[in-house]
Homo-oligomer: A and B are copies of this chain.
Amino acid sequence: MGSQLRGRCFTLKSLKDHVQTWMERVRSGDARALARAISTVENRAPESANLLKALFPHSGQARILGLTGPPGAGKSTLVDQLARHYRRAGQTLGIIAVDPTSPYTGGAILGDRIRMLDHHADPGIYIRSMATRGSLGGLARSTADVATVLDASGRNLILIETVGVGQDEVDIVRLADITMVILVPGMGDDVQTLKAGIMEIADIFVINKSDREGAERVEREIRAMQSLATRHDNWTPPIVKTVASEGKGVEDLAAAIADYEGYLQKENLVLQRNIQNWRERLLEMLRDAMLERARTQLGDGQVEQYAAEVAQHKRDPYTLVEEIVRKAGSDVYD
């Protein structure tokens, strides 16, 4: 659908109708319309904003689960097992696999294809992989937008899986309703480093491959870190042990997820968490939009010329940026 727009002539009215029809197809479960909507949003194609505006009122129904952890923790296998569990319970799923370690090439694709073969006969599971598209693209934001599309399409549950424990991953999983951090035994001395940023975002800890030596030690370390940290919501993240490759502990994990959901509802924390998420997301969207505007006003050639002047120390970048911002403000818009 998206690409068919090119070369066609639309009035504003017919463009609106086009997006409306598209949105309705996505909502009715049309797999092709959904796939195209996701690509459009991920690539920030021209129709992206209109489509998101049309879909947004229909989102907010799905539960969003986020999973992150260091490479090799077995996240993909765990996500697969969780997906099977929820499918058996009659739920429909969207899975977004994000690989921020892959800035220039589409790295997550292979693992994804393999899994696709497993689930491809089941229309109740939709899998999409995403990789970084350069530093200014905002992978967290693209992930959030894709989740909005899947949510509006009527999926009951969205699983967002990302590799790593850096700021990117924190940003990506933060938009989930529930965040799980997956650790494994034998991570070595760096388990301390890994955990520093992660204690705050984990609602549930999973020790996967827990049949390996060292599972007790990882558990003790998590407990020790927990005794130092305090959470705004007073929830103590449980530690669930799994062996995802054998399906062990998956029911326990699903039970822990249900527990936390119950807690959030009982304490009326759902809205509070959503507001917190949206505060961050709005600022990020605003930042992107403002940059886009400044970039358009400047033009690529001008940016290139400024970069050359600064690189040759003919101009200082700090004064330059101030001037551009001041100028952007005084221009008449519209």
Contacts and interface: CB of A to CB of B under 8 A. Distances in A.
Interface in A305-334: 306-308, 310-313, 316-322, 324-326, 328-334
A293 B290 contact: yes
A139 interface: yes
Contacts of A101: 165-167, 193-194, 196-197
Contacts of A122: none
Nearest to A200: B104
A256 interface: no
Copies of this polypeptide in the complex: 2
Interface residues of A, number: 88
A214 interface: no
A275 interface: yes
A221 to B, nearest CB: 15
A219 interface: no
A104 B197 contact: yes
A2 interface: no
Given A72-B190, A163-B193, A279 B307 contact: yes
A136 B283 CA distance: 8
A132 to B, nearest CB: 5
Q: Is the interface of A mostly helix, strand, loop or mixed?
A: helix
B289 A321 contact: yes
A102 interface: yes
A117 interface: no
A311 B282 CA distance: 11
A255 interface: no
Contact of A286 (B196, B282, B321): B321
A188 interface: yes
A278 to B, nearest CB: 4
A179 B79 CA distance: 35
Given A135-B171, A271-B311, A330-B334, 4 more contacts: A57-B313, A101-B193, A102-B197, A166-B168
